Amino acid sequence: MARARGSLIYSADVLDELKQAVGDARDDESGFRQKITALQRFLNHGMSRFSLESWHVVLTSLFQAYQHVHKERPDDKVITKVTSVAQLRLMSRDLLLHRGGLREVDAHALKHLDNFLAALRCLKEAKDSVDTLFQFLCTNYYDPPKQEDGSKEFTTVANQKLSHDLGTKSHGSVVGNNAHDSLSYQYGIQTPEQMSGNAAHKLHLTVIDMRDIVTRWAHLQEENDINVDDFDPESLQDLLLLQGTSAFQAVLRLLPDIFAKFYKCLELAKQWWLLAHQIYPVLPIYRPVPPVTSPSKDGTFDDEGSDGGDVQSAAASPVVVAKDDVSFQEQLVSLNEDIHNTENMLLTFRNDLELLLDRERHFESLVEAYEKVTSQLDEKARERRALTAAREADSSSASGDIRPTSSGRPDGHPQEKLMSATEQTRDKHLLEAAEREMQLLQFQQTLLLQDYLIQLEMRPSLIRFTEDLRMKTREAESHLADKVAEKQRVEQSIVANRQGQNSLAVASSLHTAVRPESSKLVSSHDSGLLEEGDNGEELKRVDGKLEKGARLKGEESKSQVARLQSRPQQAPNTTSQSAARDPLKRRRRKSFPSLARQGSQR
């Protein structure tokens, strides 16, 4: 496993890649595998860049520096055992307040601590993605049994045994080409009875186990005191080889345990997917169908399949259509203003975000510059040691015994001595120059370290501001997209409304042309009804007079009787003639049979 060298465990690019991959809205097998692959890649990236031994060294250095700072001034609030991330932040704050007396190793430890806190924030983002995946599986790939009390019997749609060959097709469903993973070992399925149970029972245990892991993971992401019961036993194995971990064992175990829970959640999600395809004949179980809107006759957008009512009722009067047009124009003006304001606000957010990202890049450049100066300082130190060793060798050879030669003169020519003295002088100057360069590099290193510590103190606030600004930027972009789409719908409604105005004008002209003919038909029909009504009244008067004449007694003149008898004869003749001309009058004549009989008798 690669050791951490003070660099970030997770960078912003890796986190953005994860968000983009898990943001896919597809609910089929390819979308699920894309999410799992992205989360697995994110987990592998973090595990490959994290070293438990290096983190142990960092915590040891920080704890010793913190104890040294508070040694001369004992306080009741001094932390003697680190049990939460919040206490780590307090220790870091106290060390930053006394950064003038920090050693170089303590400064490196603070940088590692900042990387650790950044990794926790990135893993919280991954935890949110895992929560979304868990809710997605609960909604679409799990039908809870009627009895969720841990019993072995469940009323589900399937009771068959789970085959170890995942290429087997169950209920006609195909798991996929990549469904060759072995389920010989399954998380949450431990006892022999559980292993030999049906697939529905195994899926129920898988859901319970994943829910428990996700819940305990959420507890570990909090900055309160860590509960040891939230840890998994796998994260304790690597700590057995480390010494002196009792003062900060909880935070030392935190990141490895989160990695273990991360891995278990991914394995349980894959196991969940395979078991669901073994059990349910149709997946997803619940697929929400978004309402499909289509433009109606009057230009507005109604849900497809709704009752449209009478076709003729869709036609509106010109006044109503004109009012709708004005309303749409007002909506369009309001939307344009809203879009303009949102674009300006979005531009401001992006400029502020760019400034914050510049501060982040400045922080990273400080780290690179500090590492560069440190490497140059190490190189100059090696050169200085080499020059010092060469000078000591020359001085030892110059101070050695001078042996006489056979002629009685000392060995060595004066020119050789002069060259030796020149080399010594040169080495002395080189050594002094190396010392001056080292002093300059040490001064640069001190300045960079002070600047780094200042930026490190402000960095948590800058990170929060950056995340808040990114969230506001995403919300503004989403709001802008919604308003642009609404503007397009309103423009389409305006076009449809104007088309409706043209259609209404054509229909009105046709109605004006047909109206005189219909008036003639109505007047002729009304005149016939009036004529029929007059004849009916005449018949009623004749009938009354006949009855009156039947009651006459005695001595009435024959002329009066003849006159009374002549009037009903004219009425039937007139009625029969009009009935011959009009069928309606013929039917009305048949409705007076008593009148016809009395007329014949008279």
pLDDT tens digit sequence for 110-123? 888 888 998 999 99
Give a yes or no: residue 584 inside a domain: yes
If you average pLDDT over residues 429-454, what whole number do you get? 84
Same domain, 45 and 182: yes
Q: What are phi and psi of 302, to 5 degrees?
A: -115, 155
Claim to verify: residue 478 and residue 374 sit in the same structural domain:
yes
Identify the CA nearest to 209 among candidates 293, 266, 274. Answer: 266
Task: Give Cβ neighbours of residue 296 (< 8 Å, ≥ 6 apart).
Answer: 302, 308, 314
Say if CB 197 and CB 160 are below 8 A apart.
no
Q: Is 341 part of any domain?
A: yes
Do 155 and 187 lie in one domain? The reply is yes
- For residue 294, is pLDDT > 90? no
Please, are residues 4 and 54 in contact by the beta-carbon 8 Å criterion? yes
Q: How many domains does the chain have?
A: 3
Is 335 a member of any domain? yes
Q: What is the pLDDT of residues 149-170, one digit of tens each?
A: 433 333 333 333 333 333 333 3
Q: What is the pLDDT of residue 541?
A: 61
Residue 406 belongs to some domain of the structure: no
Same domain for 253 and 183: yes
Work out the percent of the chain whose per-residue pLDDT is above 70.
59
Give yes or no: residues 596 and 538 share one domain. Answer: yes
Q: Same domain, yes or no, for 500 and 543?
A: no
More confident call, 2 vs 580:
580
Task: Give me the mean pLDDT over the 202-229 stretch.
Answer: 92
pLDDT for 201: 87
489, 543: one domain: no
CB 65 within 8 A of CB 41: no
End residue of a domain, out of 252, 279, 306: 279
Last residue of a domain, one of 232, 260, 279: 279
The verdict on 28 and 152 lying in the same domain is yes
What is the per-residue pLDDT for 231? 93
CA-CA-CA-CA torsion sign (170, 175, 178, 183): negative
The angle formed by the CA atoms of residues 399, 405 and 409, to the nearest 5 degrees, is 80
**122 lies in the same domain as 271:** yes
pLDDT top residue among 164 and 82: 82
How confident is the model over 174-210, as pLDDT tens digits?
A: 333 333 343 334 555 555 555 666 888 889 899 999 9
pLDDT class of 307 with cuts at 50, 70, 90? very low
When pLDDT is averaged across residues 288-312 and rounded to a whole number, the result is: 43
pLDDT for res 195: 62
Half-sphere CA count of 524, side-chain side, radius 13 A: 7
What is the percent of the chain with per-residue pLDDT over 90, rounded to a whole number? Answer: 14
Indicate if 475 and 572 belong to the same structural domain.
Answer: no
Q: Is residue 408 scored above 70 in pLDDT? A: no
pLDDT value for 415:
58
Rounded CA gap, 467 and 18, in Å?
Answer: 16
pLDDT of residue 208: 92
What pLDDT score does 560 carry?
54
Q: Which residue type is seen at 230?
A: D
Residue 60 neighbours by CB distance under 10 Å? 18
Which letter does DSSP use for residue 294 in this model?
E
Candidate from 27-36, 182-191, 462-471, 498-507 with smallest mean pLDDT: 182-191
Instruction: Say which residue, 5 or 205, is predicted with more confidence.
Output: 205
Mean of the pLDDT values across residues 437-442? 87
* Co-location of 45 and 127 in the same domain: yes
Same-domain pairing of 212 and 334:
no
- Rounded to the nearest integer, the mean pLDDT of the chain is 71
Q: With cut-offs at 50, 70 and 90, classify the pLDDT of residue 221.
A: very high
Which of 17-26, 514-523, 586-595 is most confident? 17-26
Q: Is residue 108 part of a domain?
A: yes
* pLDDT tens-digit series, residues 370-379: 888 888 888 8
Asked if residue 586 belongs to a domain, the reply is yes
CB distance 99 to 453 below 8 Å: yes
Whether residue 517 is contained in a domain is answered as: no
| pLDDT on residue 253 | 93
**Does 379 map to a domain?**
yes
Tell which residue, 456, 461, 451, 368, has the closest CA to residue 92: 456
Q: Which of 221, 256, 279 is the last residue of a domain?
A: 279
Q: Determine the Cα–Cα distance for residues 559 and 438; give it in Å rounded to an integer.
A: 160
Q: Tell me: the pLDDT tens digits for 487-522? A: 888 888 888 877 776 666 666 666 555 555 555 544
Q: Is the pLDDT of residue 5 over 70?
A: no
d(CA 222, CA 216) in angstroms, rounded, equals: 10
Across the chain, how many H-helices and E-strands are there? 13, 2
What is the mean pLDDT of the segment spanning 394-414?
A: 53
Task: Provide the residue range defining the domain that includes 267.
Answer: 12-279
HEC sequence for 521-584: HHHHHHHHHHHHHHHHHHHHHHHHHHHHHHCCCCCCCHHHHHHHHHHHHHHHHHHHHHHHHCHH
